Amino acid sequence: MMLINGHAQTNLPASDRGLHFGDGVFETIAVQAGRALCLERHLGRLVAGCARLSIAAPEPGTLEEECARICDGQERAVVKLMVTRGSGGRGYAPDKDALPTRIVARYPWPQYPATSRNEGVAVRICETRLGRNARLAGIKHLNRLEQVLARGEHDPGQRDEGLMLDDRDRVIEGIMSNVFIHRDGRLCTPDLSECGVAGIMRDLVLEASREVTGQAPECTQLDVADLITADECFLTNSLIGIWPIKAIEEKSLRVGPVARALQKLLTERGAMTHD
């Protein structure tokens, strides 16, 4: 099921700048009991991303209404929203009169194994690095070749997630998730001012940090050694919620109480699915 500019259709003009340049932004949202979780936050980020790219964002009310149509009656599903700068000519110069394209698409809920949330996941370190560009950092935009290449790397262990580093060996995020550590009683997550996607679940964890740990969280530079020496590590995104990390490459980590407390809190608040 897919709505393109409000109409049920599955094709779009091949002149769309989303296709030609990755000129747009997207959101991936968990649907539970007919409701898109944290929709207001997702729409807020979508609008903010459009603003940073100077794309005229659709009215949030329009997207909200289209989301409601596509979520109606769905017990579990995923909604992906995309907004592109719309159709254009051949060149990079945006057409001032172009109307943005909005796509609201529904996908089946991915049946992640319950063990991932309960017992944690083993992750690898990706060979593919993230380039740094402050102009694009944090935005969930459509230029995602780095993630595609990282996901496509051969992994004999078939692990569910890989950590991505920048060219200075700093851990930035997972291929599809953000990463946190708990050390010295405090939650820390990589600073995303030069690369990475600032996730909605990441924001929720940052906001819940003081409640769970008693301390303000920290956005800082982290390397692999910081992760493997931490008290706990975990991954976040809007679909998985929170997955503890039980191993990074050969190194086993402790699955601990902070990740569990955050899972409980954010599930109770309706920000995470039940499983």
Asked whether position 172 contacts a second copy by CB under 8 A, the answer is: no
Mask for 195-224, x = binds a second copy (CB under 8 A): x-----------------------------
Considering only residues 17, 182, 202, 246, which one is a binding residue for a second copy as defined by CB under 8 A? 17
Active site residue 28: yes
To the nearest whole angstrom, how small is the minimum distance from the Cβ of residue 145 to a second copy? 5
Report phi then psi at 17, rounded to 5. Answer: -70, -15
To the nearest whole angstrom, how small is the minimum distance from the Cβ of residue 123 to a second copy? 15
Nearer to a second copy, 121 or 187 (CB): 121
Considering only residues 35, 41, 69, 151, which one is a binding residue for a second copy as defined by CB under 8 A? 151
| 148-156, 183-191, 211-219, 228-236 -> range binding a second copy (CB under 8 A) | 148-156
By the 8 A CB rule, do 64 and 39 touch?
A: yes
| Rounded CA separation 220/251 (Å) | 23
What per-residue string of b and e applies to 161-187 under the rule 16 or more CB within 10 Å gives b?
Answer: bbbbbbeeebbbbbbbbbbbbbbeebb
| 16-24, 63-71, 224-232, 265-273 -> range binding a second copy (CB under 8 A) | 16-24
Catalytically annotated residue among 27, 84, 101, 140: 140
Q: Quick one: CA dihedral 17, 21, 23, 26, positive or negative?
A: positive
Strand pairing report for 161-165 and 178-183: unpaired
| 4-12, 43-51, 198-206, 208-216 -> range binding a second copy (CB under 8 A) | 4-12
Asked whether position 74 contacts a second copy by CB under 8 A, the answer is: no
By the 8 A CB rule, do 250 and 203 touch?
A: no
- What would the DSSP string read from start to end of 204-255? HHHHHHHHHHSS--EEE---HHHHHTSSEEEEEETTTEEEEEEEETTEE---
**Active site amino acids:** 28, 140, 173
Can you give the binding site for a second copy, defined by CB under 8 A?
A: 2, 4, 9-23, 26, 28, 53-54, 78, 80, 82, 84-85, 89-94, 103, 105, 107, 110, 128-136, 141-152, 167, 175-176, 195
